[in-house]
Amino acid sequence: MRVLVTGGGGFLGSHLVERLRGESIEPFVARRGDYDLTREADAARLLEDAAPELVFHLAAEVGGIGANRANPGRYWYANLMMGAHMLEQSRLHGVAKVVLAGTVCAYPKFAPVPFREETLWDGYPEETNAPYGVAKKSLLVGAQAYREQYGTNTIFLLPTNLYGPRDNFDLETSHVIPALIRKMSESPDEVVLWGDGSPTREYLYVDDCVEGLLLAAERYDAPEPVNLGTGVETSIRETAELVAELVGFEGEIVWDTSQPNGQPRRSLDASRAKELFGFEARTPLREGLERTIAWYRASAPQASTARL
C-alpha cells in the first residue's frame, strides 16, 4: 500500500513513519520545507508526487498556551487550510482512505468529564486555544461532508495531549511535559510555572497514539469522531511534582497565578476506540516520562531547539 504521512518530520509523524518502516512499509514523508500545505498548489503537487492509497494527515501548527496566545490567527488559518487542501486533493486524486488527526482542544471549555464524542458541539473551546481547536473541528465537518457527498472515506480521531521522545522542547512553543522537563533540567534552584497547578490533563504516550492511528486506519470506517486517550486525569501540579521527582529537581516550584490556567479539566472517554477498533493505551505516565526524560538527556541540546 502506498502511504502518505503529512507532518512526517514532526513529533507524531516521525514516530508513525518509524513504525511503518518497522512493518516494511516505506511511506511518502511530506515535510514542511518541501510542501507548504497552506497553498493549494503545493497540496496538489504532493498528491501527484505521492500517489497515495492511504493518507495520514498529521501536519499541524501547534503549541502550548503561550504559543496559542501569540499566534491565534496563524494557528486558525494554517490548520484550517492545510486540512481543507488535503481533503480536497485527496478527493480529486481518488485516495482510498484519509485519517485526520484532530485535537482534544476542540472540546468545549466546560465539557463534562470524561469528554465524550457526542459532547463535542456542546460549547465553545477554551479561549486560549480556541482558534486552533475550531480549525481542527471544522475539518471534522469537512470530512463528514465529503463522505456524504463524494463517498470519500475519511475518519477523524481526537488524540489527547501527546508526549514522548522527540517532542518539541522549545520553551516558546512547547506543551506542558516537555516544558517541565527542560525547565527542571536547566534550572536547579527555581522554576516558574503558569497558573495555579489545579487544571487537569490527560497524557497519551506518542507510541500509543501511533498504535491508535494504525488500528483506526485498518479497522474503522465511519463518520463519527473517535477519542484516543488513556482515561487517566492528572493535575498540572501532580505532573510537575512527578517530573521533578524523575528529573531529580530539588528546587522551588513557583506558580504564577497572573498567567492563565487554560482549560480547567481534560480527560477523555476512550471507550469508543476500544469498542470500534480495539485501541487501548498501554504506557503508564511514569514509564512514558522516564523514557522521554532519558531521550531528552541523550539528545540535548538539539532537543531544546527542536520544532514540530
Q: Provide the annotated active-site residues.
A: 132
Q: What is the grid cell recorded at 240?
A: 510537575
What is the pairing mode between strands 252-256 and 3-6? unpaired
Residue 295, exposed/middle/buried by CB under 10 A (0-12, 13-18, 19+)? middle
Q: How many CB atoms lie within 10 A of CB 19?
A: 16
Residue 299, exposed/middle/buried by CB under 10 A (0-12, 13-18, 19+)? middle
What is the pairing mode between strands 97-101 and 161-163? unpaired
DSSP H helical ranges for the chain: 11-22, 40-50, 65-70, 72-92, 130-150, 176-186, 206-219, 236-247, 271-277, 285-299
